[in-house]
A and B are shown apart, each in its own frame.
With several copies, the nearest count.
Chain A
Amino acid sequence: MQIVQVSEVINETNNIKTIKFKLPVESKPGQFIMVWIPGIDEIPMSLSYSDGITVDNVGEATQAIHALEIGSQIGIKGPYGNGFDLSENNFLLVGGGTGIAALAQAAEKLSQSGKNLRIAIGARTASDLLFQERMKAFGEVHVATDDGSSGHHGFVTQVVEKLIAEKKPDMILACGPEPMMVAVVGLAGDISIQCSLERYMKCGFGICGSCQCGKYTVCKDGPVFSGQQLAEIEDFGKWKRDAAGKPVWF
């Protein structure tokens, strides 16, 4: 556990903020940290920057993160998890909702190493779209909104289908709601894919078992899984476990 100070707060959308701080250790794109908001809760958050997280205000803990100010102290465990394998050349990145946060550093790194990437971002409405501007610096950005207020009117999966048809990538990276990822895995067919899963996490470092998904411990074996691995996981896209370890259907 490291105590760090908030150094910057960025309003990304109505409901999403980026919080920056000095992270005392190196991380890989796709890794996450456990963020302790003292007195409130500790929750998993992808590193959307090497020194920041991007947080959707959905409940008590994320609301407390939104209330942080420059100079506020929070606790950090990690980075944890495996991160993405970025060794291929032609990438398609698919982010639904805050899922794009988990992909942002991968996009940055891929772009730095001169690789080819297209990025599909989905959200309910235009004002919820995350990292659209940031991603433009890294690759070709395609957008979908449920209400059609920006880009494609409909699901981001429809954009993905079109992009694959246009040019087959040799690796897809996806993060978002599990049902969305199930759909993307389906569209990928024989194209390699890695999905980053979000499961209920307590310890974050592979000891308690609350994030168990099939035979995998998401916080340690994941959160990034290959298409092959996902094929072995019966739960994927069907059910997750709640804080008591009971299966809950999506």
Chain B
Amino acid sequence: MADIRTEIAGLKLENPTMLASGILGQTGESLLKIINEGGAGAVVTKSIGMEPREGHGSPCALELDGGLLNAMGLPNPGIDAFETELKIALKGDAPVIGSIFADTGEKFSILAGKMEEFGASAVELNLSCPHADKYGLDMGSDPEKVREIVGQVKNSVKIPVFAKLSPMVPDIGQIALAVQEAGGDGVVAINTIKAMKIEPELGMPVLKNKVGGISGPAIKPAGVRAVYEISGTVEIPVIGVGGINTGMDALEYIMAGASAVQIGSGVHYQGIDVFSKVNQEISEFMDRKNYSKLDEIIGMARKGI
């Protein structure tokens, strides 16, 4: 059987699949279930901020033909209330990565510090939410801001710091470079793509927030491209996310240069055992092709044949 273990910035994972931030990641017990029953190699929490936040009004999530449209608006119980949840998740046998959002590097540092204190194995900075005003994409599209925030967070924690990026920039490689230059330990790509649905029957947008982000199969080609460009620009590891439903989907990301992948909408499409299924398909593929370690195929598509 092929060895599908992987390592990202010192973080050792039994397999390359992680739960993506924001999907059932708000409570300790659901994170634990994704580890224990789903088979994920790691889980990322919902993005947590300084204060409790209700998020946008409803409708805030919708099934479209090729994906899911959401404008949750970063609802979360606030970092302090999240301690209990994180501690429950830590009972599982896989790393828990704390996703955080804020509007300044200082607040990001405070949040990261608390995540570290609570026991998170790493933090993921959400610099890419496409529908939450001043949070997310607004800063994540500016290399200077990215450099500043990542640098500040790096100065305040010892655990690895990952930055999650949006594809809605003309050159995502440049943003990834800013992450690397500031000492960031890894890049996660991609977050959802800004999108909306209008209901002609009513002549109005369906989402209460009008604009949201699309995830799922529709964004996979954009995600694979982003990972390919990032892994061609930086040395730090890349974690691929967007539209992964099958082992073949994950392999596209891995061959584009991802050391691990995250799955969000796939949990909806395939159920929570999407993680074990994807892992199974990856090892079957590797066995058939006589690859023995994941390392052999990471970034393979960059190398030519």
Contact = CB atoms under 8 A, between A and B. Distances in A.
Interface of A: 1, 3, 34, 36, 38-39, 41-43, 73, 75, 77, 202-210, 212, 214-215, 217, 241-247
The bracket for how many chain B residues form the interface is 35 or more
Contacts of A204: 61
13 contacts: A42-B208, A77-B59, A77-B63, A207-B24, A208-B23, A212-B30, A217-B24, A243-B54, A244-B52, A244-B54, A244-B77, A245-B76, A247-B77
A42 B58 contact: yes
Given A39-B304, A203-B61, A215-B32, A209 B26 contact: yes
Contacts of A36: 58-59, 206
B305 A38 contact: yes
B75 interface: yes
Given A209-B30, A210-B26, A245-B26, A75 B199 contact: yes
Contacts of B201: 3, 73
A215 to B, nearest CB: 5
A202 B68 CA distance: 14
A205 B204 contact: no
Given A215-B33, A244-B53, A244-B75, A41 B62 contact: no
Given A34-B58, A203-B70, 14 more contacts: A3-B199, A36-B58, A39-B204, A39-B305, A41-B57, A75-B202, A202-B60, A207-B23, A208-B60, A208-B61, A209-B30, A245-B27, A245-B77, A246-B77
Q: Is the interface of B mostly helix, strand, loop or mixed?
A: loop
B59 A207 contact: no
Given A41-B58, A209-B23, A202 B75 contact: yes
A1 B206 contact: yes
- B22, B61, B76, B197 — which one has the most chain A CB atoms within 10 A of its CB? B61
- A73, A75, A212 — which one has the most chain B CB atoms within 10 A of its CB? A212
Given A208-B60, A209-B24, A215-B30, A244 B70 contact: no
Contacts of A246: 52, 77-78, 81
A214 B32 CA distance: 10
B221 interface: no
Nearest to A203: B61
Interface of B: 22-27, 29-30, 32-33, 46, 52-55, 57-63, 68, 70, 72, 75-78, 81, 197, 199, 201-202, 204, 206, 208, 264-265, 267-268, 304-305
A90 to B, nearest CB: 34
A247 B32 CA distance: 18
Nearest to A212: B27
A97 B52 CA distance: 31
Contacts of B202: 3, 38, 73, 75
Contacts of A206: 24, 267-268
A212 B26 contact: yes
Given A38-B204, A209-B46, A217 B62 contact: no
B62 A77 contact: yes
Contacts of B78: 244, 246
The 8 tightest CB contacts between A and B, nearest first, are A203-B61, A42-B58, A243-B54, A246-B77, A244-B52, A209-B24, A42-B59, A209-B26
A141 B84 CA distance: 45
A134 B166 CA distance: 54
A1 B27 CA distance: 28
B62 A207 contact: no
Nearest to B63: A205
Contacts of A34: 58-59
A11 B62 CA distance: 31
B75 A210 contact: yes
B265 A207 contact: yes
A246 B49 CA distance: 13
Nearest to B52: A244
A60 B231 CA distance: 31
B159 to A, nearest CB: 23
Contacts of B264: 207
A212 B29 contact: yes
A208 B206 contact: no
B60 A207 contact: no
Contact of B27 (A202, A207, A209): A209
Nearest to B200: A3
- A206, A207, A246 — which one has the most chain B CB atoms within 10 A of its CB? A207
A139 B54 CA distance: 43
